[in-house]
Chains A and B, each alone.
Chain A
């Protein structure tokens, strides 16, 4: 099973600041990684697929990068609605696995 490790667990930032979230895979997954955003009481929302492609309707302030075992989600300038939990997920192998999440909270 491919283990995805996200860091940090919590990121405390102010609106307008840049957020950088990391996801490391226990083995190479090429670029087969997605990022999701989840707000309390809501279902996850797909932000980025295949490491760097924004999903439909996702603002340009969200960007993804990386390959093999190291990936980054960047939010260039945090908006109030961006404070949430973010998960990475790999599609390289079964079982499909998620990271444990990074909470982006208001400082």
Chain B
């Protein structure tokens, strides 16, 4: 059974930094692209970033490009999102999500974590 468990959310001041983790199990971690998708309170879903199975390719939404980085540690089966220069509009529940297929990248997402809340406020 695929399991994704996010951690690292919390309260951070505007301009601050925070790193999120997503521990994965139940599948071959290096075979699948992984993504972060966020949801602001009471709003819809917004794709944030995707990384390939090897970690060699990364993609970002314009809203976070240059401020967020994505990485993965294959020895720990863990996905990361490193967030810098945080803004109030980054406040959201952040979900990690697994690609549906081994081929392609950021296609459709068949498994999701429970989410971790990031609040950017002074």
Contact = CB atoms under 8 A, between A and B. Distances in A.
Contacts of B107: 32, 49, 91
A46 B109 contact: yes
Nearest to B62: A95
A100 B42 CA distance: 11
A38 B37 CA distance: 13
A34 interface: yes
Given A95-B47, A97-B47, A98-B44, A43 B61 contact: no
B106 A98 contact: no
Given A43-B95, A95-B61, A89 B45 contact: yes
Nearest to B93: A43
B35 to A, nearest CB: 8
The contact size tier of chain A is: 20 to 34
Contacts of A97: 47
B112 A45 contact: yes
Contacts of B95: 43-44
A42 B50 CA distance: 21
A44 B45 contact: yes
A96 B112 contact: no
Interface string B26-44: 0000000001010000001
Interface of A: 32, 34, 36, 38, 42-46, 49-50, 55-56, 87, 89, 91, 94-101
Nearest 7 pairs of A and B residues by beta carbon: A43-B112, A34-B108, A91-B107, A96-B47, A98-B45, A49-B108, A46-B110
